[in-house]
Amino acid sequence: MKIKMTKKRRTALIGYSFLSLWIIGFLLFTLYPVILSGVISLSKLEMGLGGIKYKFTGLEFFTYAFQTDSQFTPKLLESLAFIGYATPIIVIIALLLALMLKGEYKGRTIFRTIFFMPVVIMSGPVISGLLGKYSVDFSEASPALFTFIEALPEVFRSPCMFVMENLVTVLWYSGVQILILLVAIQRISPELYEAASIDGASGWEMFWKITLPYTMPTLLVCALYTVIELANDSTNAVNTYIASRMFDHKLGYYSYSTAMAWIYTAVIVVILLLIFGVLKFFQRKER
């Protein structure tokens, strides 16, 4: 009995030794900075000869962001609107492209390579250099389409406008999602489709009754991934604004940017939790 206990403990110790690097890293490079960030956002930093001094200010910088700073709220809303529009569109486009890419046909590797290439070369400077300047102004390129979309009711118009204006951006952000969805789609057993087609189901029906329910969890994981990716993007309106205020000594150097970063984080986490909740709901339903 005694030997068994020690063996169990030994195994647990070895287990922790595998996890130790991560645990140390988490405490040092994540938990400590998070706490420090809390302290910084709640106080005003002063850079003196003796190093950094913290003067406690409470929630002053948080209220400043909403009440005094006329730029923060619009920038925050701009980023959120972008995330809110782009996420469902990216996920839907990724699903459609994955459906087109599935199966065996000539040239599929070439198309996969093309659709995946942006993931590899995307970096802050490249995006701002390429996508910012050369997005096509479609009101000039195709006036007919423009007037058609203009005439649509608001519910359809603004998403359509968004897609047209940000077409390349949206496509470029969907590379990883396309591949993940492709894996999920190819995992659905072909027998399901065979059985359905024997029963006389059309391709359209099969999509709604087989493909979509089976890829739902993956779609939501893609949505989570997309939100995180877009939220962390350095060219995003809030992120550029936060970075621009980082060395503002009137607002306690890092204090104000840190407070803004916390507000932004809180909003993003709420969005992620919402998507996660939906994911859990679907996973439970499946079982």
Partner 1 sequence: MKLKKKKVKAISLGKQKRQEILKKTMLYALLVCIGFVFLYPFLYMFINSFMSPEDLMNPAISWIPSKIYFENYKKAFATLDFGKSFWNSLYISLIAAVLQTAVAAVTGYGLARFNVKLKGIIMILILATFVLPVETLLIPRYVMFNSYKLIDSPLPTWLSAFTGQGLKSAVFILVFQQIFNSYPISLDEAAELDGAGKYKVFYKIALPIAKPAIVLSMLFSFVWYWNETRQSGLYFGEVIKTLPMKLGSFAASYASLYEATGGADAATSINEAVTLAGTMLSCLPILIMFIVLQKQFVESIEKSGITGE
Range 260-279, binding partner 1 (CB under 8 A)? 261-262, 264-265, 268-269, 272
**H or E segment at 103?**
none
Minimum CB distance to partner 1, residue 129 (Å):
5
Minimum CB distance to partner 1, residue 63 (Å):
19
**Closest alpha carbon to 275 in 86, 88, 82:** 88
Range 116-145, binding partner 1 (CB under 8 A)? 116-126, 129-131, 134, 136
Nearer to partner 1, 136 or 195 (CB): 136
Range 179-198, binding partner 1 (CB under 8 A)? 179-180, 182-184, 186-187
Beta carbons within 8 Å of 217's beta carbon, 6+ residues apart: 279, 282, 283, 286
Among 6, 7, 26, 53, binds partner 1 (CB under 8 A): 26
Range 57-96, binding partner 1 (CB under 8 A)? none
102 lies in the site for partner 1, by CB under 8 A? no
Give yes or no for a contact between 151 and 185, defined as CB atoms under 8 angstroms apart: no
Q: H helices within the chain, ranges in order?
A: 2-25, 32-41, 60-63, 72-101, 108-121, 124-134, 138-141, 143-150, 154-165, 167-172, 175-187, 190-198, 203-206, 212-232, 237-244, 254-286
Among 166, 211, 226, 257, binds partner 1 (CB under 8 A): 257
Nearer to partner 1, 155 or 287 (CB): 287
The helix/strand/coil state of 246 is: coil
Distance, in Å, from the CA atom of 92 to the CA atom of 207, rounded to the nearest integer, reads 13
220 lies in the site for partner 1, by CB under 8 A? yes
147 lies in the site for partner 1, by CB under 8 A? no
Q: Which stretch binds partner 1 (CB under 8 A): 69-77, 80-88, 108-116, 158-166?
A: 108-116
Q: Which stretch binds partner 1 (CB under 8 A): 60-68, 69-77, 151-159, 226-234?
A: 226-234
**Closest alpha carbon to 224 in 161, 264, 268:** 268
Among 25, 74, 88, 143, binds partner 1 (CB under 8 A): 25
One-letter amino acid at 276 equals: F
Minimum CB distance to partner 1, residue 157 (Å):
21
Q: Which stretch binds partner 1 (CB under 8 A): 153-161, 189-197, 205-213, 258-266?
A: 258-266
Nearer to partner 1, 65 or 153 (CB): 65
Range 163-182, binding partner 1 (CB under 8 A)? 167-168, 171-172, 176, 179-180, 182
Nearer to partner 1, 153 or 263 (CB): 263
One-letter amino acid at 129 equals: G
Distance, in Å, from the CA atom of 120 to the CA atom of 248, rounded to the nearest integer, reads 35
- What is the token pair recorded at 89? 């569109």
Nearer to partner 1, 90 or 182 (CB): 182
- What is the token pair recorded at 36? 């420090």
Alpha-carbon distance values, 268 to 33, 258, 273 (Å): 19, 15, 9
**Closest alpha carbon to 131 in 90, 165, 81, 97:** 165
